[in-house]
Every structure is written in C-alpha cells, then in structure tokens.
Chains A and B, each alone.
Chain A
Amino acid sequence: MAERKQEADHQRRVYSDITQLIASPENPTPLVRVNRVNPDKDFQIYLKMERYNPFGSVKDRIAFEMLKALDTKGRTLVEPSSGNTGIALAAIGNAMGIPVEIAVPEKIPEEKKVILKFLGAKVTEADDALCPIFPSEGARGLVNALIKSPATRDSYVSPNQYENELNVQAHYRGTGPEIWQQTQGKVAYFFAGFGTCGTITGVGRFLKEQNPKIKIIGVEPSSANHKLPGMKRITGLAEEFIPKILDRSVIDDTVTVSDEDAYQTAIDLARKDGIMVGPTTGAILYVALQYAKRNKGLAVVISPDDAFKYTSFYQEVLNAASLNNGGGI
C-alpha cells in the first residue's frame, strides 16, 4: 500500500516527495546580497536564487503548477523549452508517471540536452527556421503542430507555458510574496528577464499591488540572435509571437543587454562574490548595476539558475578571453 503523502516539514527538512521542495512562501528560495560586484550601499542588490529549487531553476515553480492542473488522460506531455522548463517538467513528470517530450532550440547548451535525456525525456531539436508559421521559434512551432495535427493531436498534451495563466500565478502566489516577506516590504526595484514573461508579470503584479511605487524592470537581449537561453527579445517582435501572458502594465522600464555584458557580469559575480549563476542572471544583474549608478533603494534581481548547465558556453567565453589576453584569463 502506498504511504500517504505527508505535509512537508520545512523545519526538519523532511519531505514525502521531491516536489515538496519546490519553493513557496513557507519554503522560499534564498535572497543573497551582492557585495563586491556592487559595493554601492545606497542601492543594495539581492539575488533571488532560484537554483535552490529541487530541479535547479525558477521553472520548477511553474512546471509544478501547470502539471498539477493538467489532466493528461494518458497522453504524452510535450512542451517547447530552452531547457529549464523541460528539465522541471521531465523530473516532475517522472514523479507523477507522465511521459514527457521536449522540443528544444538548436542553440541551447549540450549540458541541458544531456540532463533532459538523463531524465528519460525524448528530446527533439528544432531548427528556428523550421516553418513559416513560427519563423524564429521552431520548437514552439513543432509543439504547436503536435498538438494540432489530426494525426498526432490525440496523443499529446501541452501545458503551454507561453499562454498558461498558471505560469503567472506560480509567481503571483509564490515568488512575489516571498520577495515581499524576505525584504520586509522594503523592495523598491525588481529586475527580471523577458522569456515566457510569467515571472515578470506575476511578481510585478503582486509587488505593484503591495506598493505601486515599486519599479519593475524588464531585461531583454540586445539582438534577436543572442546566446542567453530562456530570454526573448520582445522589442520588434510581431504581436502574435509575444507571450500572451505578458502584462505590460506592470513594467516600468525595458532595458537591453548584450551577450558580452551578460557573460562578463556573470563571470565577475563568480570571481568577486563567489556566486555561480547562468548567463541570464548576468544579463539581469548587469542592468541592475547600471541602475545602481543613479538610483537608491533595495533591488531584487531574479537569478533563474546556476552556472553548471552552461559550462560549455562559459568555456567559449573564457577561451576567447584567454586568447585576447595572450594566454591569461
């Protein structure tokens, strides 16, 4: 007989299954202050370190919310993902006995593909120019076709993180209240990247409801052809490709960042503060550091994941830096 699921005991850190470790206001991911990369005492920056979720990223939250509500009726779950949502869905799917297929863009790091395969997910790489319907997002197009094609639609179901309001709700009910509690209501700036737009919409909405003066800043790559997996350049994107869950009314400013600045900031953070993050954190933190030059207050930067899934990407940057510096890094 299966043992009855117990309530999570965060005090003793005892859990009856791995999903109970997913962050919540009762079990928040840590806020860690950046001290040496940002020595400015008038604009303190805290990283919301989402790597401490059990499957390693901010996407654990939304994957769990979406899967709990999804009646798969024996169908295979399929989702486009640059890796983190896919990893979370595959792991949670395993815990729930749901088969998972993930369509990934070509440009994600090999490390993420290996982890997906390690979890047993079927991984399909989709060329971004696969179809004129989704001219720059082949993975989304492929999943759209699996869900809608008469030959396959009865076999697949997709949570569709780009349109699923539970993506927003996971952050409205979880990440946002956590930040509010952890900063004791002192947060004045919140920085997040544009991707599916669930984080910035959900957290932004919650924080604005607590204090409309809180500034919500969205970060996007400076080019559509970037190397920041999970981030999306919203500016200039045709309306039909902008995630439907994005609520622009909560966003005060949109700032672009280059790959170079993002990677360099992530490397600086590791070398000066000992905090190892993915390149998207580098991108968002870079923008927060620009704000620090002309503003005052407490800032929270979402840190979607850690450095370990991007070692091959970092290796390229470090090798290039080594060449440019005559052998030294």
Chain B
Amino acid sequence: MAKTFDLSGFICPLSKIKATEVLNNLADGDTATIILGDSDSLKSVAQELKARGFMPNFKQEGERFVLTVTSSGQ
C-alpha cells in the first residue's frame, strides 16, 4: 500500500513526531511518501530514517522536501 503524508505544516520536532508515527504504522511492503516543509524537519526526520535503516528516495519540490520510504520489516 502506498500513502502520502503531508507534514509540511509541522515544524521540527512536531514533524519528526508525526513522521515517527507514520513509520511505526508501516506494514511490510508499505510505501510512505512524507512531505516536509523545512530543512530542520528534513534533518531530524532523515536522522530517524537512518537510525531505522531506511534508505529513502529524496527529491526537492520548491521549498518542500519529499521522502519516499518502503518498509521491508526492519
């Protein structure tokens, strides 16, 4: 299942808390696209993804940062 979570309305650490909730609820094989609105949020969410062993697909759309991750059941 693929879902998009627009967290661009939340600054850090709310963005990180929301992103962590998203990651906690991913089932094996699920794909989540997380949209962030500032660089501090990107930094803290990226740290969280790294700590969990995710290799996100990253792209920047204007002032928004888009991270796509797929759970492999780590």
Residues in A lying within 8 Å of B, measured CB to CB: 126, 130-134, 138, 141-142, 144-146, 148-152
- Which residues of B are in contact with A by a Cβ distance under 8 Å? 9-17, 37, 40, 43-44
With A150-B9, A151-B9 in contact, do A142 and B14 touch (Cβ < 8 Å)?
yes
Query: Could you say which residues of chain B place their CB within 8 Å of the CB of A144?
Result: 11
User: Given known contacts A131-B40, A131-B44, is B9 in contact with A145 (CB within 8 Å)?
Assistant: no
- Nearest CB of chain A from residue B16's CB, rounded to whole Å: 6
Interchain CA distance A130-B16 in the complex, whole Å? 8
Please count the residue pairs between chain A and chain B whose beta carbons lie under 8 angstroms apart in the complex.
Answer: 46
List 18 A-B residue pairs with CB atoms under 8 Å apart, sorted by A's residue number.
A130-B16, A131-B40, A131-B44, A132-B43, A133-B13, A133-B40, A134-B13, A141-B13, A142-B14, A144-B11, A145-B12, A145-B13, A145-B15, A149-B9, A151-B10, A151-B14, A152-B10, A152-B14
Distance in Å from the Cβ of B3 to the closest Cβ of chain A?
Answer: 18
Docked pose: A151 CA to B37 CA in angstroms:
11
7 closest A-B pairs (Cβ-Cβ)?
A151-B9, A131-B13, A145-B14, A130-B13, A131-B12, A150-B9, A149-B10
Rounded to whole angstroms, the CA-CA distance of A54 and B40 in the bound complex is 41
CB atoms of A148 and B40 under 8 A apart: no
CB nearest neighbor in B for A131: B13
11 new A-B contacts at CB < 8 Å, known A145-B15, A149-B15: A126-B13, A131-B13, A131-B16, A132-B44, A133-B13, A133-B40, A134-B13, A141-B13, A149-B10, A149-B11, A151-B10
Which of B10, B12, B17, B37 meets A133, CB within 8 Å? B12
Q: How far is A138 from B10 in the complex, measured between Cα atoms in Å? A: 15
A130 to B, closest residue via Cβ: B13
Across the interface, which residues of B come within 8 angstroms of A133, CB to CB? 12-13, 40
CB distance from A266 to the nearest CB of B (A): 33
Partner of B11, one of A126, A130, A138, A148: A148
Min CB gap B1→A, angstroms: 24
CB distance from A105 to the nearest CB of B (A): 13
B14, A149: Cβ atoms under 8 Å?
yes
A151 to B22 Cα, complex, angstroms: 17
**Contact: A146 with B44, CB < 8 Å?**
no
Within 8 Å by CB of B10, from A132, A141, A145, lies: A145
Complex Cα gap A141–B44 (Å): 13
| Residues in B whose Cβ lies below 8 Å from that of A126 | 13
Shortest C-beta distance, A142 to chain B (Å), equals 6
